């Protein structure tokens, strides 16, 4: 049995949630494929921050109607690699997550060690580790949570391709990937896929076998999909920025006794861009 990407059209799904700067969005297409292959009963993410990876998982679970229970674990206070931030990050994520995914998913504000006590041994099918990225921290997280993995257990490690700024996930990946079926993606700072459980779904084993045999083609395929997601985020940002500029210019026009322009049907069309340039030109003329 070979991995056929045409069997997994979920990989082409546009993510609904995209924050302004997460590198993980490049792995959302593979996350969709992995969900279909593994069909996990319990999914846990350690280190959620803005929520791109976690909301991607939740979107896929809802779309495929999987019976998966999900938990995101994070202090939502930041660390040496994510930076420090306030409670607004978690609140913004709750505002998006809870009404959409609250029926099967929980955002748990906790340190990783305390949270591990709430999960029975052998209960987690898919574990995503993306917390503090020093070698000591990620090794501790892996060893603490490994007993919680089921016989179908899979672990994802993000940032395995980063070797500076104190990141040490690559070192742990080199150690643990020797003893289990595994595959490493190199784009978007790297993602390691480690099949620890002895009773892996057939599709997961087929993917890992074929991906290692055709690594160049498989990496190129998912990197291409990642570029599509990154372009989508850029497009959404441009639309949002132009919409903000249009509203600001309309407020300026009203302050000068001018009528606001009609809202363009397509905010990034040539006509919409031309009207913005005309308004900016008028602002300059009236300001000099």
**In terms of domains, do 130 and 266 share one?**
no
SS3 label, residue 181: coil
* pTM higher than 0.75: yes
> Residue 268: what pLDDT?
58
Is residue 234 a part of any domain in this protein? no
**In terms of domains, do 192 and 63 share one?**
yes
> Residue 23: what pLDDT?
85
**In terms of domains, do 32 and 157 share one?**
yes
- Averaged over 189-211, what is the pLDDT? 96
Q: What is the CATH number of the domain that holds 135?
A: 3.40.50.150
Is residue 222 a part of any domain in this protein? no
Is residue 225 a part of any domain in this protein? no
Residue 252: closest CA among 286, 202, 277: 286
**In terms of domains, do 126 and 188 share one?**
yes
> Residue 235: what pLDDT?
83
The whole-angstrom separation of Cα 93 and Cα 73 is: 13
Is residue 149 a part of any domain in this protein? yes
End residue of a domain, out of 197, 213, 229: 213
In tens, the pLDDT along 12-66 reads 999 999 998 788 999 999 999 999 999 999 999 999 999 999 999 999 999 999 9
Cβ burial, residue 79 (10 Å; 0-12/13-18/19+): middle
DSSP for 124-164, please give it: EEEEEE-S--SHHHHHHHHHHHGGGEEEEEEEEEE-TT--S
What is the count of structural domains for the chain?
2
Question: What are the tokens at 133?
Answer: 């990225």
End residue of a domain, out of 213, 231, 264: 213
Is residue 263 a part of any domain in this protein? yes
């Amino acid at each position: 049995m070979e991995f056929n990407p045409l069997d997994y059209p979920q990989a082409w799904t546009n993510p609904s949630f995209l924050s302004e700067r997460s590198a993980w969005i490049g792995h959302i297409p593979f996350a969709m494929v992995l969900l279909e292959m593994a069909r996990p009963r319990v999914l846990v993410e350690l280190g959620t921050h803005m929520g791109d990876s976690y909301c991607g998982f939740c979107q896929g679970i809802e779309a495929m109607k999987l019976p998966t229970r999900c938990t995101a674990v994070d202090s939502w206070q930041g660390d040496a690699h994510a930076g420090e931030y306030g409670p607004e990050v978690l609140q913004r994520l709750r505002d998006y997550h809870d009404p959409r995914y609250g029926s099967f998913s929980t955002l748990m504000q906790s340190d990783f060690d305390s949270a591990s006590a709430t999960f029975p041994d052998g209960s987690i099918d898919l574990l995503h580790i993306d917390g503090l990225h020093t070698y000591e921290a990620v090794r501790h997280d892996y060893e603490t949570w490994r007993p919680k993995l089921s016989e179908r257990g899979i672990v994802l490690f993000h940032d395995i391709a980063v070797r500076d700024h104190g990141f040490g996930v690559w070192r742990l990946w080199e150690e643990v990937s020797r003893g289990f079926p595994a595959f490493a993606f190199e784009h978007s700072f790297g993602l390691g896929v480690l099949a620890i459980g002895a009773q892996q779904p057939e599709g997961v084993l087929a993917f890992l076998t074929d991906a290692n045999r055709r690594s160049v083609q498989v990496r190129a395929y998912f990197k291409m999909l990642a570029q599509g997601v990154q372009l989508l985020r850029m497009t959404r940002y441009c639309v949002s920025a132009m919409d903000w500029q249009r509203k600001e210019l309309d407020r300026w026009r009203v302050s000068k006794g001018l009528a606001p322009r009609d809202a363009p049907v397509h905010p990034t069309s040539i006509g919409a861009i031309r009207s913005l340039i005309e308004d900016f030109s008028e602002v300059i003329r009236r300001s000099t």
